[in-house]
Amino acid sequence: MLPQHADPIVAIATAPGRGAVGIVRVSGKGLAPFVRALIGREPRPREATYGPWRAADGQAIDHGLSLWFPAPHSYTGEDVLELQGHGGPVVLQLLLARCLEVAQTALPGLRLARAGEFTERAFLNDKLDLAQAEAVADLIDASTEAAARSAARSLAGAFSQRVHALRDALIHLRMLVEATLDFPEEEIDFLQKADAEGQLQRLRSALAQLQAEARQGALLRDGLQVVIAGQPNAGKSSLLNALAGAELAIVTPIAGTTRDVVQQTIQIEGVPLHVTDTAGLRDSPEVDEVERIGIERAWQRIHGADAVLFLHDLTRWREPRYRVGDANILRGLPEGVPVLHVWNKVDQAGDELPRGDSDIVLSAKHGTGLDALRQRLLQLAGWQSGSEGLFMARERHLRALARVGEHLEQAQGLLTRAADQLDLLAEELRLAQHALGEITGEFTADDLLGVIFSRFCIGK
């Protein structure tokens, strides 16, 4: 444990601003003398004690509840004191200052907590593994009900249990391979008798299932970046307004009305979709400097998108100039980014519609076809409807699971010629276990911990 992790820490644990209740939290070793000095007595463990917190001159700063959690029965695994008072920012700052003042004699070394340091200590003291610790921040940041429920499942250990089950099976297979390496003179073929190949196949199948569920969890957490692109007056702003159910973007028949990007997060079946309306894409002498900048920003968003809604105008699709404009946009779209062709203004079009089998026809003005578009967006995102019991996952978890898959694939090839490749097989299995352990923090570099916990809020 690094030296700074032994320091007692204090912070305001509630969000900035005014509220009905505010919390100041203290964590460290041997807090009992500090608690007695601050509130005049040592409260009973895990029971709320009401009373005043007094300044050095004896005047009450505030009245509230003191909660005392002796180690190891606390959030951090250390002694923890929580002071729950009124949520005014001035009152909380006075209470925080009083804690630091009392600590000068009763708790030397008390300092302000860094972002995420309380949860970091919970991880370091084995109260949470790393995936559970990350779920704390994910639960706070959840933007949909489904995301909050998935984060709560991860916090309860659902994701970690799946990872541990995979790890245990991997360790068992490693044990067999290592035993064969240690006793090469034995006539019994340990690997064949123990069905090592079957074990490895089951490992890979379990990993594939875990990867699929983790991708769903990552989608709930991060959502999908969707950019609406097209020529001016195709109805991009109208489509954004229709999807959001609010008048977010200005809509006029004047070409070039949208000059900058407008973004709104919507949710479909609990999946957050970050939808961006952009300036109409055109190459015309009528484009002024402001619109030109808007077009540049539109292309920047398009190149950073997870999916592009290419919006076409059904009232103009027969015009040669309009077709050329659409063709130019299509050539500029980035490779590898899914493109969904959406034909707008079906309420004004004739019977003949220029659409492919996977295209969507709708009316942003009247809402026709919006449900079909929402379902196609979920398909583009890779969402499996009706998924239950999902846990939250992050991009780093997906990368770690991908590395596990790569090592198991290498191990599969080596197992077929195990007689002279056992040492390499054992190493691939070890690397797979190491990658798996990065998810829960069994094998994690200190710099990665710093990045993860620095993104938490102060007091958590």
Instruction: Please check the confidence at residue 382 and state whether its pLDDT lies above 70.
Output: yes
152 is in an annotated binding site: no
- Residues in Cβ contact with 63 at an 8 Å cutoff, skipping those fewer than 6 apart: 50, 51, 52, 53, 85
252 is in an annotated binding site: yes
pTM for this model (two decimals): 0.78
pLDDT of residue 188: 44
Residue written as token pair 């002694």: 79
- CA dist 367 and 372 (Å) reads 11
Q: 353-368 in b/e burial notation, b at 16+ Cβ within 10 A?
A: eebeeeebbbbbbeee
17 is in an annotated binding site: no
150 is in an annotated binding site: no
DSSP 25-55: EEEESS-HHHHHHHHSS-PPBT--EEEEEE-
- CA dist 343 and 364 (Å) reads 10
pLDDT of residue 61: 95
- Residues in Cβ contact with 388 at an 8 Å cutoff, skipping those fewer than 6 apart: none
Dump pLDDT digits (tens) for 144-169.
888 888 889 999 999 999 999 999 99
Q: Which tokens hold the place of 150?
A: 């998935």
360 is in an annotated binding site: no
233 is in an annotated binding site: yes
How crowded is residue 347: how many other Cβ atoms within 10 Å of its Cβ?
13
Mean per-residue pLDDT for 25-42?
Answer: 93
165 is in an annotated binding site: no
Domain boundaries for CATH 1.20.120.430 within the chain? 135-219+394-441
280 is in an annotated binding site: yes
pLDDT of residue 117: 93
Domain boundaries for CATH 3.40.50.300 within the chain? 229-381
- With cut-offs at 50, 70 and 90, classify the pLDDT of residue 243: confident
277 is in an annotated binding site: yes
238 is in an annotated binding site: yes
Dump pLDDT digits (tens) for 167-200.
999 988 888 887 777 665 554 466 677 788 889 9
3 state DSSP class of 455? coil
Residue written as token pair 């923890």: 80
pLDDT of residue 451: 67
- Residues in Cβ contact with 15 at an 8 Å cutoff, skipping those fewer than 6 apart: 457
Between CA 73 and CA 84, with CA 79 as vertex, the angle to 5 degrees is 95
pLDDT of residue 143: 81
358 is in an annotated binding site: no
Domain boundaries for CATH 3.30.1360.120 within the chain? 3-128
236 is in an annotated binding site: yes
- With cut-offs at 50, 70 and 90, classify the pLDDT of residue 407: very high
252 or 89, greater pLDDT: 89
416 is in an annotated binding site: no
pLDDT of residue 1: 44
Instruction: Please check the confidence at residue 251 and state whether its pLDDT lies above 60.
Output: no
pLDDT of residue 2: 47
460 is in an annotated binding site: yes
Q: Which CATH superfamily is domain 229-381 in?
A: P-loop containing nucleotide triphosphate hydrolases (3.40.50.300)
Dump pLDDT digits (tens) for 84-107.
999 999 999 999 999 999 999 999
350 is in an annotated binding site: no
Mean per-residue pLDDT for 24-28?
Answer: 96
Strand order across the beta sheet in which 111-112 lies: 49-54, 60-69, 79-87, 19-28, 9-12, 111-112
pLDDT of residue 189: 64
DSSP 277-324: E-PPP---TT--HHHHHHHHHHHHHHHT-SEEEEEEETTTTT-HHHHH
345 is in an annotated binding site: no
Q: 326-341 in b/e burial notation, b at 16+ Cβ within 10 A?
A: beebeeebeeeeebbb
135-219+394-441: CATH topology is Four Helix Bundle (Hemerythrin (Met), subunit A) (1.20.120)
**Residues above pLDDT 90, as percent of the chain:** 46
109 is in an annotated binding site: no
82 is in an annotated binding site: yes
279 is in an annotated binding site: yes
* Rounded (to 5) percent helix, strand, coil in the chain: 50, 15, 35
pLDDT of residue 420: 67
- With cut-offs at 50, 70 and 90, classify the pLDDT of residue 456: confident
- With cut-offs at 50, 70 and 90, classify the pLDDT of residue 45: very high
pLDDT of residue 351: 67
66 is in an annotated binding site: no
Q: Which tokens hold the place of 34?
A: 């500090």
pLDDT of residue 249: 47
> Is the Cβ–Cβ distance between 376 and 360 less than 8 Å?
yes
Give CA separation, 385 vs 306, 356, 360, 388, in Å.
19, 25, 20, 9
Dump pLDDT digits (tens) for 279-338.
888 877 677 788 888 888 989 999 999 899 999 998 888 899 999 999 999 999 998 889
Evaluated on CA atoms 438, 439, 441, 447, the torsion sign reads positive
- Architecture of the domain spanning 3-128: 2-Layer Sandwich (3.30)
Name the average pLDDT for the chain. Answer: 86
Backbone phi and psi for residue 149, each to the nearest 5 degrees, phi listed first: -65, -40
pLDDT of residue 186: 53
133 is in an annotated binding site: no
Residue among 223, 275, 288 nearest 249 (CA): 275
